[in-house]
Amino acid sequence: MSNYKRLHPITAISNFLKELKQLIAPIIIFLFIGRGGHKESIWEYIPIFFMMLMILIVLISGIVKWRRFTYRLEEGELRIEYGLLVKKKRYIPFERIQSLDLSEGILHRPFGLVKVKIETAGNSNVTEAEAELTAIKKSEADEIQQIITEAKKSSVKIETNDVTFDVEQSNEIIYQISNKEMFIMASTSGGAGVIVSALLAFISQFNEMIPYEKIFKELSHLVESGVFLIIFLIVLILLVAWIGSIVVTLIKYNGFTTKLSDGNFIITRGLLERRQTTIPLHRIQAVRITENPLRQLWGYASVFIESAGGSVADKESMNVVLIPIVKKSKIPSILGDVLTDYNFHTSFHKAPSRAKNRYIIREILKVLPISAGLAIAFWPIGLLSIILLAFFAVFGLLRYRAAGWRVEQDQLSLRYRGLLKHTIFMRKNRIQSMMVKQSWFQRKLHLASIFSTVKSSGSRKTSKVYHLELSDVNRIYQWYRK
């Protein structure tokens, strides 16, 4: 592939739509400028003329960008030339390329195309990928992958620090989501709140266009009609939002498969947009098991990996899902033979019993001012806000029961809970920093908190466990210092 190649012509349309999205606000302004009750005149059409001119310029720039973008593989490098007014050249050596992530959008599928995102070592602090081939044929993407893979196989092993991964020719499926797991994940995703929040945020952008006063008057009549009608409407909205979250989850995770191929995790998923993400094993910084309250009741959990690659702007690379949902008891058997340097059968040391009150009091203090304010403002009905204190007290108890730690040879395992319960497994040579904190109250009870940080896609991911035995925290810290 030494000859220069161009992207598919649909790239020009993609460039046009991407730029047009940035002009939506100016276009709307132009459409409404000069719209009054006066008679029509030629001056009324000037804003429309400028709007059409802007759209034409964006279309032409999209076509020119496509024409000036070329790429080829030559002398162990991916060579790209691009630029609208000034032609730029970018040469990326094969050995720097960490992964090629493929995705198929709605525009790609009818033409058998894919978008290729190239991630390299050393570009994790930028806000975008090192390079991107917006639309090429699948066969060309496969050819590029094969050429780069063969070039990088000059060494049989990939070594990082004191961890060695054998790179073998393999294509083993380690996880594939079932219909049952898809349904459980979709129905327990907790996305209803996100959809309701997004809807409210969208509506708030149209304060001047929506007659809120009239709507509120109508709602006041509904309130007078009865409390049960209001409850019915609230339940209906939540039900619709829950069904919407199920649909979104099914579309996003349809056909989720994780493969092990030549020392890489290959993750594919999606219905409308088919995505393929490549995560080299040597880039893995930590493994995290997450349980939300609903899935925990059924014994299910999700597995994420903290990876040293990706870009800050790409939320997917910041939170790589390795296994979206699976029985927690099956995780050691699924990952144990692949990530052999990690021990997933860890039993945890718990926080001491005298830390229980610290967890409970900490959570109660968060809502005590709110509860007191409600009680005073709505006396005596406001006294029901005590239920809020009881709820957070129970939440504090759950956080206490979840807290745990374990040090085994070169692995640190921490367990803690926010709304979700997290269990994270870290290799010692992957931990970037560790910090110990001790407040005045903790010092009186001989307690302390531990904070451990690993690199994660251009940023840092910190795991923290509060109110552990002081001697245990010192033991973890000394283990890390050695």
pLDDT at position 97 is 82
pLDDT at position 349 is 95
Give the H/E segment covering residue 321: strand 320-327
Give the H/E segment covering residue 175: strand 172-176
Closest CA to 344 of 297, 413, 264: 413
Q: What is the pLDDT along the chain (482 residues), one digit of tens a residue?
A: 567 888 988 888 888 888 887 777 666 666 665 555 555 566 666 777 777 888 888 888 888 888 889 998 888 888 898 887 788 888 888 888 877 888 888 888 888 899 998 887 655 544 566 788 889 998 888 888 888 877 766 543 444 444 444 444 457 899 999 988 988 888 887 654 444 444 555 445 444 445 545 555 555 555 555 556 666 777 787 778 778 878 888 888 999 999 998 788 999 998 888 888 888 888 899 999 999 988 888 899 999 998 876 554 455 555 789 999 999 999 999 998 899 899 998 899 999 999 999 999 999 998 888 888 888 888 877 788 888 899 999 999 999 999 999 999 899 999 999 989 999 999 999 999 999 999 999 999 999 999 999 987 667 889 999 999 999 999 999 999 87
Q: Which residues contact 450 (CB under 8 A, 6 or more apart)?
A: 405, 414, 434, 435, 436, 464, 465, 468, 473, 476, 477
DSSP state letter for 110: G
Distance of CA 156 to the CA centre of its chain: 33
What is the end-to-end Cα distance of the chain in Å, rounded? 50
CB 421 within 8 A of CB 296: yes
Rounded Cα gap, residues 414 and 393, in angstroms? 23
Rounded Cα gap, residues 72 and 77, in angstroms? 8
By three-state DSSP, how is residue 221 classified?
helix
CB 265 within 8 A of CB 287: no
DSSP string covering 7-39, please?
Answer: --THHHHHHHHHHHHTTHHHHHHHHHTT-SSSP
Rounded Cα gap, residues 307 and 317, in angstroms? 8
pLDDT at position 391 is 92
Q: Which residues contact 153 (CB under 8 A, 6 or more apart)?
A: 167, 262
By three-state DSSP, how is residue 352 classified?
coil
DSSP string covering 116-171, please?
Answer: EEEEETT-TTSSS-SEEEEEEEHHHHHHHHHHHHHHHTTSSEEEETTEEEE-----
pLDDT at position 123 is 53
pLDDT at position 428 is 93
Amino acid identity of residue 120, one-letter, is: T
Amino acid identity of residue 352, one-letter, is: P
Hey, CA dihedral for 376, 378, 379, 385, is it positive or negative?
A: negative
Q: What is the number of alpha carbons within 13 Å of residue 356 lying toward its C-beta?
A: 7
